[in-house]
Amino acid sequence: MKQLFYLISIISIMLMLPQSDVLGQVSRTNYVLVGFPSMSESNTVKKAGNYYIYLTSTGIVTGDPVLKRENKRFLYDELLISLQLRTSDGNELIAGLMSTEQGVHWFAAVPQVASSPDIECLQGMEVWTDFNERHTACLSDRGDMGLSATNPTALRVQFVYNGDHWIVRFRNNATTAVKDVAKIYVSNSDVIFAQVALNGSCLFDCNGGFYANDFKYKRDHFWAHIPSDITDNSIQFSSNYIYATVMCPQFGVAPYIQNNPYLWYMGTFGSECSGQLYQGGGSSTEVTSIAAEYSGSPPNGVQGKFLSSENGTDCVHTNRFYDGAFEQWYVDDVDSSTQVAYRGNNHQYLSRHANNSLWQDSTDLTDADTLFFYEEQEPYVFKIKNIGNGQYVDHNKGTSCVKANAAGNNNETLFRYVAP
């Protein structure tokens, strides 16, 4: 019920994204909302200053042209998905994807009200003016950052606090392209509420949707799923609290995609109207990326590329430029804080094979080849020694398989936890 209270309380300032001169003058309606618990209960969550989610469009929005002609409506159908944050002083930050009949765009925005903060477009077009003719959003061209109408592309939508404002940052994991697209001038860094919203102007027969994945916040050098340290930790979704008979089941949610509680679908093929998306999160879901220190010694070493699990289909390598799903690791303490195991995205563990190469393919935490001694050199910089053979893990500068075959001190055995 707590989530429902927050969802209802936000209606009066609902983030109804205003209209674009480019895409037509049509009011948009909230179809589906995923509400997150009161983030103010946890200082680690509300003061993180860094949040992201992956959003993916399923392609262009398709409608019924006959219905449009009969109703003399020639404007484009639009569907939008966005991550929306609210700070403790009541300001709203919005960013996400827009799908139309023409293609897929990214956008960053603030509500279309006089009290909204200023937004500065670093990329894209200035659109969606308020009553004072002040623009309240930045909108990309179709297909910018590799957004495809035919090949679904995941875009990491990120809010980063930067002293006296928030940066809206997008990253295409497939191409590794990164753009800071906007600055939102809110000096308050405490985030007390968040939601993922699906809205649009599909007043007729309209098909389309989005996938949302991995809403996380930063904890030191780790990322963790929200919620954490929060009493009411059940994440709820609702698509019928406003226009029950119209909005659902036309627009709904499909939770637990690919057996992943943190991956869900919102759109016209979602069959569920309300319920629990998932429960829990926080420190138990913390992941980090592991980078090799290519040269020099801490603290002046050169941070290298990321360790990739290869999803268990090959030996692991330190040859990635960015931290995608295969480059994020759970660090499981085993028996003590110095004995660890590294669990990858497929929930199997890093393990030493007979030739000393490391693979992410073990499920046996009693196997010494799956366990490592953690030797911290400085905060978040470390060496790990395989318990099975007593040798240190060597990243080989990313040129070949990572192996547990080093006798001791050299720069090839230095690693660092990072959370880009």
pLDDT by residue (tens digit) across 1-21?
334 333 333 333 233 333 332
Count Cβ atoms within 10 A of the Cβ of residue 376 and give its class: 0-12 exposed, 13-18 middle, 19 or more buried.
exposed
Write the CB contacts of 219 (distance below 8 Å, at least 6 apart in sequence).
Answer: 44, 48, 228, 283, 286
Least confident of 21-30, 106-115, 277-286: 21-30
Residues 245, 363, single domain; the answer is no
Instruction: Please give the share of the chain, as a percent, with pLDDT higher than 70.
Output: 81
* pLDDT of amino acid 1: 38
Final residue of a domain: which of 248, 283, 318? Answer: 283
Is there a single domain that holds both residue 225 and residue 119?
Answer: yes
Domain boundary at 283, 299, 331, which?
283
> Is pLDDT at 31 greater than 90 in this prediction?
no
CA distance 351 to 368: 9
Supply the DSSP string of 317-342, one letter for each residue. EEEESS--GGG-BEEEEESEEEEEEE
Closest of 180, 145, 174, 175 to residue 160, by C-alpha: 180
Residue 237 and residue 255 in contact, taking contact as beta carbons nearer than 8 Å: yes
Q: Nearest-5° angle of CA 258, CA 264, CA 270? A: 105
User: Rounded to an integer, what distance in angstroms lies between the CA atom of residue 393 and that of residue 353?
Assistant: 12
Q: What is the mean pLDDT of residues 346-366?
A: 93
> Which are the contacts of 129, defined by CB distance < 8 A and separation ≥ 6?
18, 112, 135, 136
pLDDT at 303: 58
Question: How large is the average pLDDT for residues 327-345?
Answer: 85
Tell me, what's the pLDDT at 271? 81
pLDDT at residue 107, rounded to an integer: 96
Contact 399, 304 (CB under 8 A): no
**386 close to 352: Cβ distance less than 8 angstroms:** yes
Quick one: pLDDT at residue 406?
Answer: 92
d(CA 213, CA 197): 13
Low-confidence winner among 38-47, 102-111, 132-141, 239-248 (lowest mean pLDDT): 239-248
Interval 259-266 mean pLDDT? 88
The pLDDT mean for the chain works out to: 82
Residues 43, 49, 50, 53, Cα dihedral to 10° = 70
Better-predicted residue by pLDDT, 184 or 336: 184
Summarised one tens digit per residue, pLDDT across range 277-314 is 887 776 667 889 999 875 544 444 445 789 999 989 99
Residues 269 and 294 in one domain: no
Of 283, 308, 332, at which residue does a domain stop?
Answer: 283
| Rounded Cα–Cα distance for residues 129 and 152 (Å) | 30
State residue 206's pLDDT score: 76
| Residue 173 to residue 323: CA distance in whole angstroms | 8
CATH number at residue 375: 2.80.10.50
Residue 39 has a pLDDT of: 82
Rounded Cα–Cα distance for residues 406 and 390 (Å): 9
- The model's pTM: 0.82
Same-domain check for residues 314 and 373: yes
Clarify whether residues 342 and 217 are in a common domain: no
For residues 418 and 390, give the distance between their C-alpha atoms in angstroms, rounded to a whole number.
26
Contacts of 154 (CB under 8 A, 6+ apart): 54, 55, 56, 172, 173, 174, 211, 213
Amino acid at 378: E
Mean pLDDT of 407-419: 83
pLDDT at 316 > cutoff 90: yes
Cβ-Cβ contacts under 8 Å for 327 (sequence gap 6 or more)? 289, 290, 306, 307, 308, 309, 320
Q: Are 384 and 318 in contact (CB under 8 A)?
A: no
Asked if residue 181 and residue 66 are part of one domain, the reply reads: yes
Distance CA 269, CA 388 (A): 49
Indicate the number of domains in the chain.
2
Statement to judge: residues 192 and 230 lie in one domain: yes
Q: Which of 144-148, 233-237, 239-243 has the lowest mean pLDDT?
A: 239-243
Contact (CB, 8 A) for 60 and 207: no
* 276 and 344 within one domain: no
- Domain residues for the domain of 307 are 288-418
188 and 278 housed in the same domain:
yes
User: Which token pair is 155?
Assistant: 């875009």
Which one, of 419, 43, 14, lies nearest residue 227 by Cα?
43
Shared domain check, 352 and 326: yes
Per-residue pLDDT band for 233 (boundaries 50, 70, 90) equals low
Average pLDDT score over residue span 375-393: 92
Q: By CB neighbour count within 10 A (0-12 exposed, 13-18 middle, 19+ buried), where does 180 fall?
A: middle
What's the pLDDT score for residue 47?
92
82 has pLDDT over 70: yes
Residue 266 and residue 365 in one domain = no
Residues 96 and 238 both lie in one domain: yes
Please give the structure tokens belonging to residue 279: 């429960």
